[in-house]
Structure formats: structure tokens, C-alpha cells
Amino acid sequence: MDGIGKHTLSRWGLRLGETPAPIGARARLLSRWFPLALVLSAEALAGTTGILEGVVRDKRSREPLVGVNVSVAALRRGTVTRPDGSYHLQDLRIGTYEVRFTAVGYRTHVARSVIVNPDLRTRLNVELEPSDVTLDEIVVTQEKPLIQKDVTSTSYIVSEQEVRLLPVSRPTDLLGLKAGTTQEGNVRGGKASEVAYYVDGLSVQDVMGGGLSLNLPTSSLVSMSLYTGGFEPEYGNALSGVVNIVTRTGSNEHQFFTRVAGDNLIVGNQFDRLAEVELSASGPIIQDRLFYTLAVNGTYSGTRWWKDMQKFFSWPVDKQLDGFGKLDYAFTPRLRLNTQLLYSRHDWRDYEFSWRLNLPGLPGEERTSYRVATILSHAVTDDFFYIASLSVLSISSKIGSGPKDDIPVRDPYQFDFFLRYIVSGQRAWWVRSTQNTYTAKLDATLKTLGYHLVKFGGVIEFYDLTSDILKYEPRKTFFGKPLLGVPQLDFSSSFAYQPYSGAFYAYDKLDLFNEGVLLTYGLRYDFLNPQANRPDIRAVLGTDSTYALVPAQYVPATVKHQLSPRIGIATPLSEQASAYFNLGFYFQNPLFNYMYTGVDRVALNHGISALTGNPNLEPERTIQYEFSLKYILPLDLVASATYFKKTTSNLVDTKTFVSGDSKVAGGYGFAEFVNVPNAEASGWEITLTRNRGNWVKGELSYTYMVAEGTSGTPYDGFYVAQFGLPPGQRVYPLSWDQRHTVKSSVMLDLPLDYDINFVTQWHSGRPYTNYPTATGFEQIQGGAFHQNNDRMPSYFTLDIKAQKHWRADWWRNALITLYIDIRNATNEQNVNWMDSNGQIGGELRDPSGYYIGRRTRVGLQVAF
């Protein structure tokens, strides 16, 4: 038996060596727009299905064969070859299948382990052997291609089984293991918020705060695509990267999975008191017709700070529940309808070291998200299919308990005598916000003229956004010292808006010269109507020589439009080498919090917030190109080198209005979000990959990258002005500017059903601002303020996951796995942040100045 690695990549419950089996007012408005969206062709359900195609020839004469039956039995799909010997099957569910080729006068050819990937074409060319008598069929195990030729930019496809083999907590953590990325989620020098997340081609983005709105149980996914280079026009509202998760669909066989894990089962005190439980099931309700998939994951933790937390709160202080459910009905093998529900609930308490003596003074936080979607998929012919969907994504956030009026806004929390720890009081922070996104989509794919693959589609989205925030914070110096006796900064806001947006796109994948050169070109059009007025706020001098801020008039925000052309080329240089080029124009709408905070008339009647939104913000824009070479080396190794460059404009920052002698907004004035900063990133990625073969698989990468700009966050201008520092006028290294990064991921498939996986990361030091102070109030004489003018120490970590698999004699259809997952195995003291004096963790020696130390999880899972 060859080790368990290849067996663990099989579907759950298979015997070792078996072939894997396939795996209100808003609503009324939406109902009026959806028919129009269908007519106009509304955004793709990106990357939920794949294509199988190829050419069948006579093995002796090399002539193309017409009329050969091509069938994928697990999907009950099939076709026959055309006069030129070609065949084409679209709208195939993601998975691994057995494909059968039969013709009178020829031996049957069976190709096993044929992988259908999202958004890609799997090309399977076959030669049939002539025979006048009945002979045994020819069975061939199809190997994964070393170089994927159906892409023109840097992308990765990861299966659910691979996710389970690696030491990661969530599937999306894999993004940080790839070249050109950071563990915080920055992609090629961009902000972490510039990455778009999709589940089954439908966005799960938090449009108010940014980032991923919910999490999924690992057992609910079948594949995940990561785009770190350019991406095609079906993806929008992203500047740096795209993550698309494809969920599992039930089959004709019931499959079950359960997993439990904890991190305090090993002797020692390096643990978070973490416990995790995951359950899933899938299978038929009606054979060949109706299928179900269910998955749930619960994570409960005392957090890294449990020793302080347990003095005030009972375990667990961090609770997360993620769930997924799907019903899939096949009217015919070509026409399917599925309805799915995603649910995520997270309850937690923040920890700050300066509050460790008064942790109940920090408000508790809750976040509940769910998405309901109905998706219709119809393969009208072998060459044309469409996917239509309706969905609702709802996100509710809550900070603080009790009524808002109970928050002590005029009684700030108290520091000790040396202004170090908070010893009494509570943070004046209370939030109730909701966002509902109603989406209608249609996507169509057409294969025409033999070498054109045309995709077109679009999306209509309506948003219902409400937010009620009460937040006061004491003024502080740049060095973190509180300014006593100075009015607090007022960040309170309240708004309710109903913007809407839409997009239409079309592009073509063109095969030139009979599978030689691939050319992709297309265009995307987007629009956003903020449905809001922008207040023209003016400063009026009062009788006491202070200013009052008055909204003089309201100016309607304009509708924003964006055209985004994209082009890519892939061409073979030889049998072993290929070259790729990709150029794209990308955009991202500003987060709605930046547009609407504090501009609602009701909010303005209560005074100007220190941070004020701007409904007339323009989209942020990026122009990015990359050029790469890939070469096949001996031992199934693939080497690649990629150069990339991206220029970003219209980034959001804040501009300060009214000097600090104003009595409004906490004696500070206010800062408005504006489009000002620019950024630029460029670099090289060099990778060495082995994705198939026995014993050893993995990836080694080196990235050299420069990421610079005039602003690192949308709040830079506000805080620089608050601290009385000169506004930044120069380009400086951004906080995620990792000049040199080395990553490796090695999977060892060992005998006796063991496997072990090593993940290492090293990067040179990231920037921080060295602006020393002796008192915490004034800067040391002689120094000029320059942001990110120094570097922290370098970073290194080693993560290990080892697994043992077996089948008990008393339960032969169950695959049992015991695993140990060690993060930061060498217990490195990696620096997370430093203060302006270069002190790790600042004046208090805050332990959060270091990344978390070694943590060891032990788990048991059973698939049957």
C-alpha cells in the first residue's frame, strides 16, 4: 500500500484505493428588477462549474473519430464526438470523475480520476484502439496536468481534502500561504480589504466594514479558487485578489463526517482552552433526483488571554457557530435547482492589555450573518448553459449591552496615577447595525465556432443599510498617552440608506492555432447609485470666538460608473515551457461606512461627528499587469517566475476641516473621507511546485515586493492631524511592505498510513514609525516625523500537522484519523508591533507585541 496521502484525497467513506465518487419594500423592488436582469443578462455565478472537452482519434491512423459516446456516469451526462472528433461538456459539477469512451469496433477506454475544476476547462484527449472482437476495456488513471493552460494569470485551486491536510484553521487561511501574500491577507501590496470573497459565485462581502462576512465549515466545501494575479471580468469590486469557494453537493451515496479537537490535551500551559466540533452529512433524499448536504462547526475558546479573562468571565469567552445546508434537485441531468443556507454567529469579548484590571469595562460584541440563495443551472445544449440566482445576505452587528442611554458618554474611564492601566469605568461604545443585500444574477456560457468560449452576464444588487453608533474616545498623544481635561472625540453616527448597484460584463476565451495560444479579452461595466445627499458643512464664527459647524446645503451624490477592460495571453514556448501575460483595470467601491457615517440629517442635528462620511466618494482604481514563465523540470517539478506591477489611485483617506479651537466634535473639528492617496506595488515571485507524484508534494516560493504609498489606512489623515503632526506629503513603505518573503509547504505521504505536513514562513522586517519620546507627550528634540521610517525584526514560523489513518475491523466502511496540529512549533517570539521608541509591546510590555506562541491541537475525525 502506498501511504495514505492519496487515499485521504478521496471522498469520505471510500475504501482505500477506490475511485472517488463525484461529489418587504426591498423585496418588491427586487421582484420588479429581476425580470429585467434576466433579459439584459445579469454577474456570473463565477467558478461553480467546469468544462470537459477534448478530441478522440483512432490510435493507429490518428484520424478523428465521429460518433464516439462520451459519458460521465456519476453525473448522468454524456455526448458524442463531432465530425472533427471533438466533444464538449459544460456545466459539470466540481469534482473527480470516471469518463468512459465507447464506439463500435473499438476497445472501450475508461479514464479515471479526471478532475473538473471551477472556472476552467479540463482537456482530455483520447486515442481508441481498433478491435473486431470484444476485449477488456482499457483503464487509465488520469494525472493532473503539471501546467494549467486555461489561465492567463496567477491563480491556485485547492480541494477540501488538501485543506484538511494542512495546518490551517479556516480554508481562507490558505491565501496567506501563497506567493505575494501576507498572513494578514494582503495580496501583492494591497490592503487586506481589497480582496473579494465569493461562495458559489455569490458575494459574501461585508459592504459596510469590509472583509468576509461569514465563515463556512471546512466539510461544506469541495474546492476553492484563489486569484492573486489578474482576474476575469466576471469578478468585480476587488483591487487585489479574489477567493471563490465552491460548496459540496450530495450524491447517491450517504456520507457522514465528524471531527473533535482541543488544544489543552498536551502537558504544558501553551493553549487557548480551545474546543472544536464539526459534523456533516450528505446524500440522497430521492435517488438521482433530490440530494441534501448539511454541515456545522462550533468553535469555543478562552482565547490567548484566558488567564486574565477567567477572573471576570466564564468559559468560553469566544464562541463561533458556522453552518451550511443545501438541497439540490435534478429535474433532468441538464437542469438543476439548488437552495442553500449559510449561517454564522460569533460572540466574543475583546482584550486589551491596558484594560486587564477592568476587562468588564470593554463591551461584548456579537455578529450574526446568514445568506439564503436559490440557484438554477441549465445546460441547454452541450455548447450553451446558463445559471440564474436570487439571494439575500444579511449581517447584524452588536457592540455593548443594554440601552444606548445607559452609556456614560460624559464620564470617561479612569486611568491609574501613572496613566498606564485603566482601573475603572467603561468604554463609551455602543453599536447596532444591519445590512441586507438583495441580489439577482444571470450568467451564460457559449462555445461557438469551435474555438471561442464566450461568457457574459451581470448583477443587480440592492442594499438596505442601517447603523446606530455611539462612540466617544479620549484624545491621546501620538505616543498613546491620554490628554486629561480635554473633550473626548465624538465618533457617534446614525444613518439609514438604500443604495443600489449593478454590473454587466462579457469576455471571450479564444483558442488560437489548435490548442496553442489562449487569448482572453473582455470588458466589465459597473455602476453605483449612493441614493444620498452630501452635506456642505461650513464653519460659522460665534460670539465667543469659536466655530460652529453648520450644514449649509445638501448636494446630491452622483451615480458612479466604471469601465474595466481586461486582457490575458497564454502561449507555449516548447513542450516544457509556457509564457503568460495579463493586464487589467480593476475597481472597488468605497465601503458604505466611509460614505454614510455622520451625514444623515438626524445625526447632523446632534452635532458633527469627528469622522464624517462622503457619499460622493469615487471608486478606488487599480491598473495591474503581470508577466510569467513556467517550465517543467524532471521529477514532476514546475518552476515559475512572475513579475507584477500595480498602480492604485483614488484610495480613501481623511481630510481635516476646522482647527482645534472648535467646540464641536470634541473640540477638534471634523475629518471627512476623501479620495486622495495613491499607492504602487511591484515585485517578483519565484516558485517551485510538485503537485503530483509519490511521497513528496509541495511548494517553495520566494517573493521580493515593494509596497509604497501616501496613506496606509483611510484614517491616516485624521490621526496625523489629531496628534498635531504635519500631514504626510511623501511616499513611504506601507505597513505590510514585506520586501523578502520565503514560504514552503511540504506534504510527506508516508508508509503505514501516515502523512505529515510542514508549513514554514519567513519574511524580512515590516515597517514601523520610529519617533521616540521620553515623556509620552513630546517628541525627543531633533527628530522629524516620517511614517514607517524603520523596520521591525524578521519573522519566522514553522507549523506541523501529522496524521495517522486506519480502518477498524469492526467498522470497515469508516476511515478514522487521529491528528496533531502544532502551530509555531519552535515557539518563536515573532514581533507583531513596536511603539515609537522601538519597544516591543510599548511602555506596558504588552504581550500582544508578539505573535502568539506555540499552540498544539489534537483531533480525531471519522468519515463513513
Q: What gap in Å lies between CA 568 and CA 519, rounded to an integer? A: 6
Name the pTM for this structure. 0.86
C-alpha cell, 450: 469551435
End-to-end CA distance of the chain: 20
Residue 324, number of CB atoms within 10 A of its CB: 26
For residue 363, the model assigns a pLDDT of 92
d(CA 786, CA 767): 11
Where do the domains of the chain lie? Answer: 41-141, 155-250+266-863
26 has a pLDDT exceeding 70: no
Element (DSSP H or E) covering residue 495: strand 493-497
Compare 557 and 725 and report the one with higher pLDDT.
557
Phi, psi angles (nearest 5°) of residue 716? -60, -50
Region 329-336 average pLDDT: 92
CA–CA separation, 609 vs 490, rounded Å?
Answer: 6
With beta carbons less than 8 A apart as the criterion, state whether 427 and 411 touch. no
**Looking up cell 452635532, which residue turns up?**
607
Is-cis flag, bond preceding 316, omega within 30? Answer: yes
Please give the C-alpha separations between residue 598 and each of 464, 683, 844, in angstroms, as whole numbers: 17, 40, 35
Q: Is the pLDDT of residue 605 over 90?
A: no
- Region 233-259 average pLDDT: 91
**pLDDT (mean) for 668-682:** 80
Sheet containing 670-675: order of strands: 611-612, 670-675, 652-657
Torsional sign, CA 278, 279, 283, 284: negative
Average pLDDT, the chain: 84
| DSSP structural state of residue 497 | E
How far lies 835's CA from each of 447, 711, 795, in Å?
58, 19, 17
Q: Does domain 155-250+266-863 have CATH number 2.40.170.20?
A: yes
Which CATH superfamily does the domain covering 41-141 fall into?
Carboxypeptidase-like, regulatory domain (2.60.40.1120)
pLDDT at 134: 63
Q: pLDDT tens across 466-490, in order?
A: 999 988 888 888 777 777 777 788 8
Residue percentage of the chain with pLDDT more than 70: 87
Q: Nine-digit cell at 364?
A: 461584548
Calculate the alpha carbon distances from 650 to 197, 618, 621, 727 in Å: 22, 7, 6, 18
Which of 288, 218, 276 is CA-nearest to residue 12? Answer: 218
Q: Which of 19-33, 587-601, 618-632, 782-796 has the lowest mean pLDDT?
A: 19-33
What whole-number distance in Å separates Cα of residue 594 and Cα of residue 433?
14
The grid coordinates listed for 573 are 514556448
Chain segment 60-115, per-residue pLDDT in tens:
888 999 989 999 988 888 899 988 888 988 888 888 888 999 988 888 899 888 88
Q: What gap in Å lies between CA 111 and CA 77, rounded to an integer?
A: 15
> CA nearest 624: which of 173, 231, 289?
231
Grade residue 833 by pLDDT with cuts at 50, 70 and 90. Answer: very high
Q: Characterize the bridge pairing of strands 517-529 and 560-572.
A: antiparallel
Is the pLDDT reported for residue 8 higher than 70?
no
Phi, psi of 700 (to 5 degrees): -125, 130
Q: Would you say residue 191 has pLDDT above 60?
A: yes
Of the listed ranges 324-333, 412-421, 681-690, 751-760, the least confidently predicted one is 412-421
